[in-house]
Every structure is written in C-alpha cells, then in structure tokens.
Amino acid sequence: MTTNPFETLSVSDEAQQLIEFRFGLEASHRQTLRDANAFWFLPIGTRRDEIYGVRVLPGANVDECPVVRMLDGDAYGQASTVVSRPSSLIPFLAFPGSVVSRNAWDQVAQAPDAVWAELERVHAALGGTDGLRAVREVLASDDFRRACDLSDKGGDIEAVLPTIRKQLDPAPETVRYVDYVRQLLVEQSFVRPPRELGCWGQSAASAAWVAAQDDGGTREEDRYDLALALVSAQAGIDTFQRDFPSYSPSPNGSSEQLFAAAELLTSAAVPDGRADIETLWRPVATALSDERDDYRASRHFELCERFQAEGRRAEAFYAVASAGYWLTQVSPKLYDEVPKLVAFIAENQPWPAVVASLRTFMGQ
C-alpha cells in the first residue's frame, strides 16, 4: 500500500528548534486539511502557524512535486509554493532569513555537528544529494550574513535574496522564476512571464497580473492571457500576490484576484484562434464573476466530466481540486464527493504521488 513517505521523518528537539520545524501533524492540523478538501496535499510537518506538505501532481513521483505551505486553522484551502522539490526543503528551513543580530545567524551557522548530521540525514531522505553544502556555504558567507542582519546599517536582504534562493533551490524552473520576480521588482512595470516555470507558473501569473494593473501600457491580449492562466489553473494555489511581487507570498484568504480575472474573461473579446478557450473557460469565468464566494463549483464539475470523457484525466484532476477549493469558500467542511471523484479519476493511473496523498487524506 502506498502511504505518506514523510511519516517516518524525525529529528531531535535541538534540531527542530534550529530550523523551527516539527515533522508530523497533530489532529487539529489534519482537520484543517480535511475542512479545506486538500486531498492534493501530502503533509510533512509544521512551522509556527503553517502546515508544510507536497502539492501532488498527476503522473509525478512524490520527490518530483513542489512543497507548499498552508495556514493552520485556515479552512480556505490556499497554499503558497515554498520550494520546487522536497530535496530543497531542509536548505530552505535552515536559512535563517532576516536576523536581528549576528548572534542569531551564528546560532544556526555554528550549530553542533551532531545537529547538522541529523539534518543531513533527513535532507538525504528527502532526496538531497549535496550534504547540505549549499545552505552551509550561504551561512559561511560574511556578505550574506551582513546583508541579512537587521542590526547592520549596510544590511539589504533584498539585494542578496535572489542569489540565496537560487542557491538553496537550484532547479531550472526556480531560477527562471526568481529572475522573473527580480525583473518585476527592478523595472516596476509589466513583463510577460517566461515559459517553463513549472510549479511557479501560477505565482508568476499572479505577480504579472498585479504589475499589469499598474501598467497602462500592457496589451489587452496579455491581460487576457494572464486572466486565463489564473482562472484555468488549480484554484487557491499562489494566486494572492499583493501590491508588489514576492518570491513566496503568504496565503491571505482572499479570492479577489481570481474574481477580477474572471470578470475580465467574461467581458473581454476572445482573441482570434481561441474558440476552444471560449467553450471551456468562459462559462467558469461567468459563474465566478456572478456568484463569487457563493459559487458551488458546478462549472468545474461539468469540466471534470468533460475532461474525463475526453481522456484528459490530469485536467480532470485539477478541475476537481478547484471544485474542492470553491466549495470550501461556501462552507469549510469535507465534501465526500470530492475525494471519491478523485479516486475514480486516478484509478489505474500511474500517479504515485496522487495515490499517496489521497490515501493519507482518507486515513487509509
């Protein structure tokens, strides 16, 4: 039987305190996931008031899926991408970010060898192959330490954060995404997102949408494409960039960006050659625009049925995931038809990550 591969991970209290992360979940955390219909979330552990886990993707192995975070107690089902793969999670957690003093940085950098050995063991179990060399090189850099030290008058974490993020998560799609967000921050105007962003595509579309609203020179076709990217993707994932782009924005409980995108799709003329988009997504956009938080996912269930009939099971999976999100906005609770439908879609499919998350979600 396929189960959650992260359930056996553990470290000492000292190692947990160093990275501010606790492996495993308590009953309240599991209830949050059930109320959010988060069958697509394979839990790893918690940090402060957030639950971390893998966002499973159809056809992918668990170690090929991105790690995301959700707010504990947030039954709205929003999640923010953290790193591209589990193999980058421990480096991300071990990086202290902004610190109030050099001592706070040194507490991590100079942690006992036994603690680092524990973290290396878990890092390897998550697929890491560098022995945590990347994050330890960051911690050993005086330039990075000074930039992240709030007590240092010359500190400027924003200047070094892109370099650090790419070092801790060197996947090609992460590098492209970080460079793109940096470009938006520097140019302060709309820039069309690059291709092949993988798990970061929705966050990039969300950031580009924000930039386009403030840039009167953005082409209508670009606005349409961004709106379509937001409405057609799995709802509640990375669609909450705010007034300025962030590399990993926190969930904010609001669906306003999706509603705005839906309103644009409903009112805008469909560009030439997009008749298929008109058929698929205009009804969804219209329902979202009209019903907003009262939308009960009827159009997404219809899309799921259509995708299944056409043998497009991955798209059917994402349609059901979106349906679960929208049902949760109406009333946070487990809707039994959602995981049952996913189980039917995934039946006899080579989807190991989906099977693991679904069995974990249903307590099998």
Q: What is the pLDDT of residue 335?
A: 87
Q: What is the pLDDT of residue 1?
A: 45
DSSP structural state of residue 6: T
- Output phi, psi for 354, to 5 deg: -65, -45
Q: What is the pLDDT of residue 364?
A: 56
Classify 60 as helix, strand or coil.
coil
Q: Report d(CA 77, CA 341) in Å as an integer.
A: 18
Q: Report d(CA 298, CA 149) in Å as an integer.
A: 50
Q: What is the pLDDT of residue 286?
A: 95
Q: What is the pLDDT of residue 261?
A: 95
Q: What is the pLDDT of residue 100?
A: 81
pTM for the model stands at 0.95
| Average pLDDT along the chain, 364 residues, taken 10 residues at a time | 84 97 94 93 96 97 97 84 98 93 92 97 98 97 93 85 97 98 92 96 95 86 92 94 83 89 88 74 95 95 95 96 94 88 92 94 80
Q: Are strands 41-47 and 80-83 parallel, antiparallel or unpaired?
A: unpaired
Q: What is the pLDDT of residue 250?
A: 85
Q: Report d(CA 103, CA 116) in Å as an integer.
A: 18
Q: Report d(CA 58, CA 71) in Å as an integer.
A: 24
Q: Report d(CA 251, CA 70) in Å as an integer.
A: 7
| Contacts of range 208-212, beta carbons closer than 8 Å, 24 or more positions apart | 208/184, 209/241, 209/257, 209/260, 209/261, 210/241, 210/242, 210/243, 210/244, 210/245, 211/184, 211/245
Place of tokens 């991105």: 66
